[in-house]
Structure formats: structure tokens, C-alpha cells
Structure 1
Amino acid sequence: MKVACVGGGPAGLYLSVLLKLRDPSHDITVHERDPEGSTYGWGVTYWRGLLDKLREQDPESARAIEESSVRWSEGVAHVRGLTTRRAGDEGHGIGRHRLLAILAERARSLGVRLEFEHEVRPENLPVADLVVAADGVHSALRTRHADHFGTDIRAGRDHYIWLGTTKVFDAFTFAFVETDHGWIWCYGYAFGPEGSTCVIECAPKTWTGLSLHTADEADGLALLEKLFADVLDGHPLLGRSRADGSAQWLTFRTLTNRTWHRGNLVLLGDAAHTTHYSVGAGTTLALEDAIALARSLHEHAALAQALTRYEQQRRQALLSLQSAARYSAHWYENLPRYIHLPPHQMFALLGQRHSPLLPHVPPRLYYRIDRAAGRLEALRRLRRRLGPKVARAVHARALASRE
């Protein structure tokens, strides 16, 4: 099969690797409009479950990714001068540049052609059996047929900016800062010994009240460094300004499509769907899309059947995470509802932000219910573990009393 993959991000590169591993005779070209080694963002995050899946698919690239990643197992929140730390699931961070380099090197080693600085336009698609639109949320290939795909894009309320810092966080870090114009907060996680990703977010009235909407990048970073001085420990924030020097503030766009394929054109990764960055799943979903598409193409000889099956599987797999992402974004958009709780309670509810019940229950009551449920579940686990021993002890006592 001849495959043209438009977009050299994680999804497109990993798909090319998996297709070549399944059938080396596939003729695969990845077309990327930007120069090799150039990318947006700083680091990406993923969780243990993804690493297990990558090992199943290609142990060699999985090993390289793991060796280039940092890990953490705690979260820390800074609120009103107080710090709260909680144990959590094992998380991983890796520089986006490093991840792309690993996947590009692996693809080349398997015979995939990588064409950088080569922009593919909708009116001039490569001749191929399969064209993969892995060209991101702004996908030109999808936009050309937006009516067919049923593309729906919904903008979130809050403003955010994707930054880096030379500060290496030792845990997944949250910091909430109160200003005269409302709250502003950041999420930070390390991606290597050279630094961390730092995403900063605030409500529209805070954004304009702090004049971040008019500040150029240099002035905006200086203000943000001052606001988050306690967690940055003197380290600078690093931006990536536009040509005119303006800062890259965004509002998150949740993208969905009614269908993911048209003829021999199929959507992959952010071209097909997005989930709010606060759940940290974008790269994971892109790689899982690639796994599902490669498997479906291998299992079904008919292209239409393979693409339909891929879409069905991924839609089903995305349902729970998309719901969690919506509730997560909603939690931050309603931060004043939670921010005045004692910090340990606020942090606990931050961890529960995916719950569909949380927005409808008073926060303090929800916290007490959640704590009680946790203690009850711990007791149940203890009883299940000790049950046979307890039963034998009670039986032995009963026999002794009869004697």
C-alpha cells in the first residue's frame, strides 16, 4: 500500500513506524511543512498506561522514549502562600523535540521517507492509496471538506499561554495566585533536565485587567514571572512570540467531527478531535489513534472497512476522556467556587474535577462525601484481605468458648 501522511507530528510519525513494522513493503512518505527539528511547545506529558501500549507495539521506540523521559508520582499545589502535596499516579514528561526526533529516527530506520519543508495543499494531494490528515487542529485537508466531516469547533472561555521555564519541577505543580483582577494559575511539569512546561491560564476579566491582552511577550513574561516568583525560584519563563513580538495567548478549541474519513482520506490525532489540555492527554490520544489505525488497516483488506472500524473503535474509546476533559475545563472556569476552601480540600477537589456530580454538590459537602467513601472503600479492601483470617479467628474463639 502507498501511504501519504500529511503532518510530521507524533501521530503521523508513529503511524508510519507501525505500518512499516507490520508490512515493510508499504510505501510510506511523511510530509511536514516545517523544517526538521522545529516544533511548537516545550514538553508533553503521558501516563504509565501509554508506555505499556508503546512497548507492545514497538519495544525499540518505547525504550528510547522512556529513557528520554522524566517521571513524577506526586502533585503539589501552591495556594495563598500554603503548599499541599499529594501522592498520585506515575506521570512522565518528555521534550516535544526529543519525542519527534526519536520517532523520526525510528521511521527512517524502517524505510519511511520524511520530506520536511514540504507543504501539501488540499488541491494538490499526493497520489496514494491512503492519505492521512495528521496536520493538527487547523488541518487544511479537513477544512477543505468540513461539511462532509461535520466539523464542530467550540471555543472555551479562559485564556491560556503555553510557556517553558528553566525551573525543573520535582512534581506536577499547580500554583494559584490572587490579583486585584481575579485569580491566575499555572500548571507545570518537567520534561527533562533542561526545564519544564508551564501553562498559565486565567479568566477573561483577569486577562484584560492585568493588561495581558495588550502587553507584548517580553512585558507579559516579566509580569507573569513576578506573579509566580514563589514557584519559579528566580528562573525565567520562556515564550515563543509571533513575528510582531506579541504573546501567543489562546482560548482552547474543542474540536469534534461527525465522521473521520472521506474516500481514501482519514483524520488522525488533533485533526480528528481535541481534549482540553488540563487532562494532559493530547499526545497519548494521538499515539493511540495511530495504534488503532495501523491495527485496523492490517486486519481489514478493504480500505473502507478498515477506516470505518478505526473510527468506531476510537470514538468509543474517547467518550469517557472527552467527558472528563469537559468537566475539567469547567472546574477551572468556575475556580471561585473552590478556591476559598482550605488548600488541602481545594486540592482534593482539583483531583475530582472530572466528576459529573461535583458541579451540582456544594464543594464542602462533596469533599466530606468523597472522604467518607474513600474510608469506606479502604475498609472494604481491608475486610476482603483479612476476611478469611478474621473468620477463622472468630471460629476458633467460638470453639474455645464451648470447651
Structure 2
Amino acid sequence: MKVVCAGGGPAGLYLAILLKRLNPSHDITVHERNPEGSTYGWGVTYWRGLLDRLQEHDPDSARAIADASVRWSEGVAHVRGLSTRHHGDEGFGIGRHRLLGLLADRARALGVRLEYESELTEPPAGADLVVAADGVHSALRARHADAFGTEISAGRNHYIWLGTTKVFDAFTFAFTETAHGWIWAYGYGCGDGHSTCVVECAPETFTGLGLDRTDEAEGRALLERLFADVLDGHRLIGRPGAGWLTFRTLTNRTWHSGNLVLLGDAAHTTHYSIGAGTTLALEDAMCLADALHSHAGLSEALAAYERRRMPELLSAQSAARYSARWYENLPRYIDLPPHRMFALLGQRHSPLLPYVPPQVYYGLDKAAGQLEALRRFKRWLGPRAAGALHARSAPRRG
């Protein structure tokens, strides 16, 4: 099969790797519009579950990614001079530049052709399969938007994706109050002595602070002052042309048309606050590769990919919507004691939280956690031990 992929991001590169591993005779070319070694953003996050799935699909690239990643198992929130720290699941961070380099090296080693500074705007003739993995601004998808049923909605808040030489030892949240409202940052290590620092604020704070009028250097200097306590004197680092954005949620009615199929952010986006974009893109590639390998006909394979993958995304898409809404309604939660606010930050994916008073929700969630701990203890005891306890405590007869 001759496969042409537009987009040399994680989704496109990983699909090429998987298809070559499944059938080395596939003729695969990946076209990337940007020069090799250039990328937007800083680090990306993922969790143990993705690493396990990478190991199942290609142990070599999984091992390389794991070795290049930093790890954390705690989260910390800073608000009004107070801090609270919680232990959680193991998380991983890796520089996007490093991730793409590892995937590109693996793809080349398997015989994939990589063409940089080469943009596809139309499906090329002679290809059996054309993959649009060229992101939210996909040129291939845009040319055929009616066929895919593309819908895009803009979020309310403004955000900017920066780097810093401050190496965070935990996934860090920092909330700063200004005369124009709250502004906050998410920080996490991504290797090579750097961390990612995403800063977000409401529109009125954005304009009130003058961030809509300052140049990039002035804007970063202002943010450094606002987050001086967590940056510990370290600078914020930008990339040329990487300014403030509003998040664009993209969906498509269908992901394939003829021999053209959508992958990763070209097919769907989820709000960055759940840290799942790269994971979902790589899982798309796994699903599409499995479908192509399992079905003899291309149309059947693409239909199977869409039929399986779309429902799998529903929970993540729902979580992302509620997570974005939590931050858009930050004043509702910010006056809680820090440990309670942080607890509800961890519950921001809940569809119930927006409709229950925060203090009430916190109490209910804490009570439910205690009940769950009791249920886990009873499961650990097992049916025989539980039965024995019941027999000892039952009233004696006769």
C-alpha cells in the first residue's frame, strides 16, 4: 500500500512507524510543512497508561520515549501565598522537540521517507491512502470541510504556551490575583533543564493587564513579575510568533472521505487543561493502524477506525469541556481554603460540579471517598473474612 501522510507531528510519525512494523512493504512518505527540528510549544504530558500501550505497539520507541521523559507523582497549588501539595498518579513530561526527534529517528530506521518543508494541500495522485495529520489548521481537511462536517468553536479565555528554566518537581498550579482579576499558570518539567509554563486568564484580565497591547518581551516580563514566587527568579521563554491564543475546539461529523482520513488534531481537539492531546493523537494512530491491518478493504478499514475511535473519545471530550468551564468560572472556587480548592480542581471534569455549591460538593466528595475506602477494605478482606466478621458480630441465639 502506498501511504502519504500530511503532518510530521506525533500522530503522523507514529502511524508511519506502526504501519511499517505491521508490513515493511508499505510505501510510506510523511510530509511536514516546517523545517526539521522546528516545533511549536514546549513539553507534552502523558500518563502510565499511554506508556503501557506504546510498549505493546512498538517497544523500541516506547523505551526511547520513557528514557527521555521526566516523572512526577505530586501536584502542588499556590494561591494567595499559601501552598497545598497532594500525591497522585505518576505523570510524565517530555519536550515536544525531543519526542518528534525520537519518532522521526524510529520512522527513518524502519524505512519511512520524511519530507520536511513540504506541505500537502491536495491529496496526491497515485496514493492508496492519504492521511491528514496536519493539525487543527489542516489544509487537507479545510479543502474538503463540507465532506467532513467540520465545526470549530472558540473558547473564552486567553492562554500562552511558554517555557522556563525553572524545573518544577511536581505538576504545579499557580494562581495570582491582580487588580483586573485572576491569572494562573500550569507548570511541569519536560527535560533538558526546562519546564513548560502555560499561562491563562479571562478576557477582562487579559485586556486589563494590557497583554493585548504589549509586545512579546514586555508581556513575558509582566508575567515573570506576576509569578515571581513560583519561578524563583527564572525567566520565561517564548518562541518567535508564539503569542496569546484562545483554544479552538474542533469536531468533525466523519473522519474519512474516499481515501482521505483524519488523524489527531485534524480530526478533533480537546482542551489543553486535561493534558491529553498528544496521548489521544498517538491512540488515534494505534487504532487506525490496527484497522488497516485487520481489514482487507480500505473503505471497511476506515469505517472501522471511525466506528471504534469516535466513541472512545467521548469521555475525554466531555472531561475537557468541563475542565475548560472550571477555569472559566474560577471565581466560584478560588475563595475556598486552598486544600479544598485544589480538591475541586482535581474534580473539574465532573458534570455535576457546576450545579452544586462548591462547599457542598467538597463535603459529598469527601464522604464518597470515605465510603469507597471502606468498600476497598471490604474487598481486600474477601468474602470469607467478611463472612467471619459478620458471624462474630451477629447476636447469639438460644
User: What's the CA shift for 1:190?
Assistant: 0.3
State the one-letter code of the partner of 2:199.
I
1:269 touches 1:289 (CA, 8 Å); kept in 2? yes
State the one-letter code of the partner of 1:195.
H
Is 1:351–2:346 an aligned residue pair?
Answer: yes
Q: Deviations over 1:304-357 (max 9, x none)?
A: 110011011110100011000000000000000000001100000000000000
Aligned residue number for residue 200 of structure 2: 201
Tell me how far apart the structure 1 counterparts of residues 321 and 106 of structure 2 sit (CA, whole Å): 35
Aligned residue number for residue 190 of structure 1: 189
Aligned residue number for residue 91 of structure 2: 91
TM-score (norm 2): 0.97
Aligned residue number for residue 318 of structure 1: 313
User: What's the CA shift for 1:398?
Assistant: 8.0
Aligned residue number for residue 249 of structure 1: 244
Aligned residue number for residue 28 of structure 2: 28
Tell me how far apart the structure 2 counterparts of residues 306 and 297 of structure 1 sit (CA, whole Å): 5
User: What's the CA shift for 1:120?
Assistant: 1.6
Tell me how far apart the structure 1 counterparts of residues 127 and 317 of structure 2 sit (CA, whole Å): 32
User: What's the CA shift for 1:383?
Assistant: 2.4
2:273 touches 2:324 (CA, 8 Å); kept in 1? yes
Is 1:389–2:364 an aligned residue pair?
Answer: no
1:36 to 1:398, Cα distance in 2 relative to 1, 3 A:
closer
Tell me how far apart the structure 1 counterparts of residues 45 and 198 of structure 2 sit (CA, whole Å): 12
Correspondence list, 1:40-59, <5 A: 40-59=40-59
Correspondence list, 1:138-287, <5 A: 138-242=137-241, 248-287=243-282
User: What's the CA shift for 1:148?
Assistant: 1.0
User: What's the CA shift for 1:128?
Assistant: 0.5
Tell me how far apart the structure 2 counterparts of residues 41 and 394 of structure 1 sit (CA, whole Å): 58
1:394 to 1:361, Cα distance in 2 relative to 1, 3 A:
closer
2:43 touches 2:196 (CA, 8 Å); kept in 1? yes
* Structure 1 residues without counterparts, runs of 5 or longer: none
State the one-letter code of the partner of 2:173.
F
1:97 to 1:390, Cα distance in 2 relative to 1, 3 A:
same
Aligned residue number for residue 364 of structure 2: 369
Is 1:37–2:37 an aligned residue pair?
Answer: yes
Find runs of 4+ consecutive structure 1 residues off by over 4 angstroms.
393-399
Identity of aligned residues (%): 74
State the one-letter code of the partner of 1:359.
P
Which of 306, 316, 323 is the equivalent residue of 1:328?
323
Tell me how far apart the structure 2 counterparts of residues 333 and 15 of structure 1 sit (CA, whole Å): 35
1:43 to 1:203, Cα distance in 2 relative to 1, 3 A:
same
2:121 touches 2:143 (CA, 8 Å); kept in 1? no
Aligned residue number for residue 63 of structure 2: 63
State the one-letter code of the partner of 2:50.
L
Tell me how far apart the structure 1 counterparts of residues 101 and 4 of structure 2 sit (CA, whole Å): 20
Tell me how far apart the structure 1 counterparts of residues 343 and 209 of structure 2 sit (CA, whole Å): 29
1:397 to 1:273, Cα distance in 2 relative to 1, 3 A:
closer
Tell me how far apart the structure 2 counterparts of residues 398 and 299 of structure 1 sit (CA, whole Å): 57
User: What's the CA shift for 1:380?
Assistant: 1.8
- The alignment covers a number of residue pairs equal to 397
Tell me how far apart the structure 2 counterparts of residues 45 and 238 of structure 1 sit (CA, whole Å): 19
1:226 to 1:110, Cα distance in 2 relative to 1, 3 A:
same
State the one-letter code of the partner of 1:15.
L
User: What's the CA shift for 1:127?
Assistant: 2.7
State the one-letter code of the partner of 2:139.
A
Tell me how far apart the structure 1 counterparts of residues 125 and 63 of structure 2 sit (CA, whole Å): 33
1:168 touches 1:193 (CA, 8 Å); kept in 2? no
User: What's the CA shift for 1:274?
Assistant: 0.1
1:4 touches 1:126 (CA, 8 Å); kept in 2? no
Tell me how far apart the structure 2 counterparts of residues 140 and 281 of structure 1 sit (CA, whole Å): 23
Tell me how far apart the structure 1 counterparts of residues 240 and 36 of structure 2 sit (CA, whole Å): 20
Tell me how far apart the structure 2 counterparts of residues 147 and 393 of structure 1 sit (CA, whole Å): 65
- Give the SS at the match of 2:156: coil
Is 1:296–2:287 an aligned residue pair?
Answer: no
- Give the SS at the match of 2:64: helix
Q: Deviations over 1:152-174 (max 9, x none)?
A: 00000000000000011000000
State the one-letter code of the partner of 1:12.
G
Tell me how far apart the structure 1 counterparts of residues 317 and 393 of structure 2 sit (CA, whole Å): 54
State the one-letter code of the partner of 1:33.
R
Tell me how far apart the structure 2 counterparts of residues 27 and 335 of structure 1 sit (CA, whole Å): 50
Tell me how far apart the structure 1 counterparts of residues 142 and 391 of structure 2 sit (CA, whole Å): 72
Q: Deviations over 1:93-138 (max 9, x none)?
A: 001111011111110111101111112222x625300000000000
User: What's the CA shift for 1:390?
Assistant: 5.4
